[in-house]
Structure 1
Amino acid sequence: MKFAFFGSSLVSAYWNGAATYYRGLIRQLHARGHEVTFYEPDAYGRQAHRDIADPPWANVVVYEPTTQAVDMALDAAATADVIVKTSGVGVFDRTLEEGVLSLKRPHNTVIFWDVDAPATLDGLDADADHPFRALVPRFDLVLTYGGGAPVVDAYRRFGARSCQPIYNALDPDTHHPVARAPRFDADLGFLGNRLPDREARVDAFFVAAARARPQARFLLGGSGWDDKPLPANVRSLGHVYSHEHNAFNVSPAAVLNVSRESMARYGFSPATRVFEAAGAGACLITDAWEGIERFLEPGREVLVAHDGDEVARHLDAVMAGRARAIGEAARRRVLAGHTYAHRARELEALLDGRAGDAAPRRAGNWA
């Protein structure tokens, strides 16, 4: 089958946390015989901060952020069997949503793929006149990269014909154990961009833990933190390129996941870095959110904290020797059930209209 994706960026993770999600899934779709074209705007400095060159497993079309260029991209995508508009492209989002819906034909499938469903749904709840409300029922399928039953039920309330999570996962070819890197040496590392609905939770879990353990070394990676006052034992790195994520995950004694506020509230929303850390065999400490046990077993495969003090106590245990066993158990779990190969089969099954696993298919042989 031919897929056309309109998303933020496939080739750059700069201010674009969904990049590795797109890459893992699309790479597996290609491996299963599908042809994917990814349309992304030249915006927000992402092309200047590429993590990868154009990959052999997708056609990447970079278009200028103009109405004319958007129209040309939509025209080029019209022949695809599956046309996807993701959330958060960042420029011309509403134009693209209306545009892909205009391409709906009896023989194709048009999907809205929400990589930040809690934020989208909160916006729809807050505004009875939100223009996206009228578009939701027109998509053949709404997919999300998390949220579980709360997100599915909310989308159905807004008239979605069908809604299904396709969760984040691991690409074991890109996220795996590597040698430790002195640059990332620390007791606890956190990697995430500074965002309005994340910063307070980073303060509560990461910064508070650093203050509680002044003798420990903390490492902060991600964009936007340059002017934030931090404790003396926190070292800020700025943007960390995706090819460095493995080293970032394995070098500290443990790494921390902190969910954005809305994702923690909805639950069932594991961030991409949960699986990246597990795939590298890192010892992961995560903030508490409903549904974590669906992905990793608390206490054995992941350590769960409800506040910064609990993060600090987990760190004490990690530094006393628990890290390796937790990291190895997490890696086994995600390899067994949470890779992008699993997710690609789930997507095929949805598109094929079956409840079970889909058998591997080649382009032109979707029967």
Structure 2
Amino acid sequence: MDEGPVEVRLCGYTQGERATLEVRAGSGRVAIKAYATNPAAEAALYKALNATELAAQSGICVPPLLFRIRKLRLIVLGWLEGPTVLHLIRRGEGERAGFVAARWFRRAALLDQRFGRRRGAAYAMRKASEGFPELGAADPGLKAFAVALSKILVRTRPGEGSPHLVHGTLYDRHILDLGDRTGVIDWQRFGRGPLELDAGMFLATISRVAIRHEPLREAVSQAQKAFRDGTAGLLDESALAWHEAAALVRLATKPLSIAGGERLRARGLADPQAVAISRARTLLEEAALVAEPVFREFERIEPRIRARLPVLEPNAPVRAETLKDQVQSSMERIE
């Protein structure tokens, strides 16, 4: 880095897990990530990806690993310069945002890197359910809604074919437009799993943008269309809908988390708890709408196919009534 004044900015923090610092000195810029646990696996991933396929291909990249300080559990990464997909949408460039994200998936599908733990439907549901205690403390009816939805998602979980390298938490803010390349950052939850896991989370996070900011709905719609057009034939539509619904359930619990509450209070809202509950409710309703085609399809499958769904009780098919009716009856019992 250049000589001169050093500027340090906290740009990411997860309590009890990690912190990310942006460090500037002159024209130089790096990311320093500090962890509560050993980041050896993530460091190895950055090194391996930059040494093999990604280094040889144009179109996609991840941050280069500059060095690692083992005793302090720190890694230092090169900074990727470019707007995130979230920033593109906020600027009204929805079509570009969808194209940039789709480019990552088209290239990532060709990678032969299968690092990390298994990341699939079971992982998605486990992460979705982690916030249920906070949801129940804020609104028992919402928890009943989330639990009913999750039980049906478990019954209808998709099959998983050959695993790919997956990010694990691919939000809109993790995908960067680098001009002729797409960059992806923050790989601490990477693993092996279906591409639909990452694609579902990506679509869920941009749907959340439209829910929070009505003026951006058109840009989000453009991004969704461009992404689906750009990944046509690559992703299984039913599995994608399932993973998007599971991701929306997971996102619904975020406003009611400690960190989510702190962010809302920092904005000076008159009643941050009411805002958090409203956001959670809207995201859960969106999850139900996204998942509805999956549930209808499941009702028509052959018995021999149902046998591969170990959580489905014999002679207890999902009822033909809509999910909305099912969760409504659960909420009425709570009341």
Q: TM-score, normalised by structure 2?
A: 0.32
Higher relative contact order (Cα pairs below 8 Å, separated by 6+ residues): 2
Higher helix residue share? 2
Q: TM-score, normalised by structure 1?
A: 0.30
